[in-house]
Chains A and B, each alone.
Chain A
Amino acid sequence: MKEFLKMQARNFLLCCFFIAIDMGIVGLVLSPDAKFGYEVLFVPPIYAFLCMLPSFFMYSKKELSPKRAVIGRILQIITIEAIVLGIIISQQPNTSRFDILIIGASILVVFGAVWLVNFLRARSDAKELNEKLKKMSG
């Protein structure tokens, strides 16, 4: 559980970062003249928290096989898309299909970016360990 919480905390911070970047880019493309108040600063942590929720519901003490873990990830992204788009549509029923598509795609990009950071970290660990194993055997 401790490792799981550490991982979620790291993913939360990564999500905050990527959501802020994503909001900036999508905002510049869709409505470059829009002006916001300070409350917009709370949007990345709120959405990052919402993105973390499915992981807690899907947490299992059992060791998942890589295949089942990937299935879990797919279910997670589907749930995140449903939560975030559900909130946006319920708050702004007039949101156009194009905007929904862009937001949906940007959720995928944020999810992918968080996964990529974690994957690169694991790859770097694997590389470091492989170098040490080579030294040990040779």
Chain B
Amino acid sequence: MRVDVKNVPSAEDERVVLECVELTEDFRDIREYALMKGNMLTGYIDDAAFQLGLPDVIYFEAVGELVFAYTENEVYEIKSRLYEIEQNYSEQMFMRCSKSIIANISKIESFRPAPDTRLIAKMKNGEEIVISRMYAKSLKQRILEG
């Protein structure tokens, strides 16, 4: 595969162009990677691909081998691992809340204590997420530091 790099004068002109005979798994991976570097990501509903804005994602959840992105109205399957999402978006208001959930901090409406003394975050869509003790300290630190 040939790889060309062309210099452009400004950041707005920066883009990745894929030229392929067919959108194979390899090209899909490259496309996914390029999209993840920005603020858009690809989500799938019944194998149909959709572009969704990262700020619209309320939280990501891993269910078994699959990862889902929850927005206000839809649930998309994401073809990435949860740890990859954590690595890529931790600087963009996303933070690990438990082993299976990464939440958008800007979408948290309030916190309350659970009867088992863990914290529960109520998201802006009304859903509630349990904050694991393991991640509670770092989440608290990040929110308090603004």
Q: Which residues of A contact B (CB under 8 A)?
A: 2-4, 7, 63-66, 69-70, 72-73, 115, 118-119, 121-123, 125-126, 128-130, 132-133, 136
- The residue of chain A having its C-beta at the shortest distance from the C-beta of B128 within the complex is A66
Asked if A63 and B146 make an inter-chain contact with CB atoms under 8 angstroms apart, the answer reads: no
Q: Summarize A's interface: helix, strand, loop or mixed.
A: helix
Residues in B with CB closer than 8 Å to A63 are 98-100, 130, 132
Known: A7-B133, A130-B110. A66 touches B120 (CB 8 A): yes
Q: Which of B99, B109, B133 has the most CB of A within 10 A?
A: B133
For the complex formed, measure the closest distance between the CB of B2 and the CB atoms of chain A, giving whole angstroms.
47
List of A residues within 8 angstroms of B136 by Cβ: 125
- B108, B118, B143, B144: the one within 8 Å of A66 (CB): B118
Contacts of B115 in A (CB 8 A): 66, 69-70, 119
Q: A4-B133, A63-B99 are in contact. Are A132 and B116 (CB under 8 A)?
A: no
- What secondary structure prevails in chain B residues at the interface with A? mixed
Task: Point out residues on B near A: beta carbons under 8 Å.
Answer: 98-100, 108-120, 130, 132-134, 136, 140, 143-144, 146
**Contact residue among B109, B110, B116, B140 (Cβ-Cβ distance under 8 Å from A73):** B116
Chain A hits for B111, CB < 8 A:
125-126, 129-130, 133
Given A7-B133, A63-B100, A132 and B143 touching (CB < 8 A)? yes
